[in-house]
Amino acid sequence: MSVEYLKKILTENSGIVCLLGRAQAIAGGCDFYREDYAYEIETKYGRSPGEIFSSSFFRNRPKAFYECYREELLKKRGGPDECNYALKRMEDDGRLLGIVTRGFFNHSRMAGCRNVVQMYGNIDANTCPHCGRVYDGKYILEHTPLPYCENCGTLIYPGVALQGEMLDNQQITRAADLIARAKVLLVLGTGLTSNLGSLVRYFQGNLLAVVNSREELSDYKADCFCEGNAAEIMAQAYPGNHPLAAEGSV
């Protein structure tokens, strides 16, 4: 289907919710989601990403954990691209209700989006488990080898969901409620068979649009499907200028 049809959907409707996949983060310069990056981390650190970014590894080897957290997540986080800025314009125009994502690199907030449900956390929301003070990624980068809370001296807990932990039920509920309220669901940079795409089961609205790099069998369910680079497609479907990205936002 044509980008013109997607443009018609996005510019003539409100009540839009976006499921934002990892393709945006990769295009924005984030290495962590690349398919071959797990091998690079295992070669460099002698452990898999699943082992390093686990609650048990954090508790037992916090210095090694934070070394990898800084080098592989914070320093290689990338930044917003046209997907994020198009969503920002849609939100400013009163068309976008919000964004649901499994990504924790905070690109949409950096672009200025306000209502973002990050189901797996946020690298700019590292929190003191004792007093609750929140620290951004810059603070973690600047305080080595271990970042401690300025208020109470407690070791700061990373803002991302770790292996072995339950996801935040509040965020899951927020995501489901937001999708259920949508009149239009935009699945951007992922497919309907992905973990994120499976949340389409909560959608009760009128129009389903999918933008992804390749077509999948399940895409027949979509009212509109656009194949190609998501940033380029969104630049055409909801054009406009964007400001410089913010350094970070919680």
Q: What's the rounded Cα separation, in Å, for the pair 15 and 196?
A: 19
Say if residue 57 is in the same domain as residue 101: no
Flag whether 140 is in a domain: no
- 176 & 224 share domain: yes
Give φ, ψ of 97 to 5 degrees: -75, -40
Q: Place 242 in a pLDDT band, splitting at 50, 70 and 90.
A: low
Task: State which residues form the domain around 106.
Answer: 3-30+79-123+166-237
Q: Are residues 227 and 193 part of one domain? A: yes
Residue 148 lies in a domain: no
Co-location of 206 and 85 in the same domain: yes
Q: Which residue has the higher pLDDT, 138 or 36?
A: 138
**Do 170 and 226 share a domain, yes or no?**
yes
Q: What is the mean pLDDT of the chain?
A: 92
Whether residue 246 has pLDDT greater than 50: no
pTM of model > 0.85: yes
Identify whether 66 is part of a domain: yes
Write the pLDDT tens digit of every residue in 57-66. Answer: 999 999 999 9
Query: Looking at the domain assignment, is residue 249 inside a domain?
Result: no
* Amino acid at site 49: P
**Quick one: 100 and 204 in the same domain?**
yes
Model pLDDT, residue 139: 98
Q: Are residues 69 and 100 in the same domain?
A: no
- Residue 27 in this model has a pLDDT that exceeds 90: no
Cα 153 to Cα 42: distance, rounded to the nearest angstrom: 32
Is 224 within the bounds of a domain? Answer: yes
| Same-domain status, 85 and 115 | yes
Stretch 178-186: mean pLDDT: 98
Q: Is the peptide bond before 145 cis (omega within 30 degrees of 0)?
A: yes
Region 129-133: mean pLDDT is 97
Asked whether residue 116 is domain-assigned, the answer is: yes
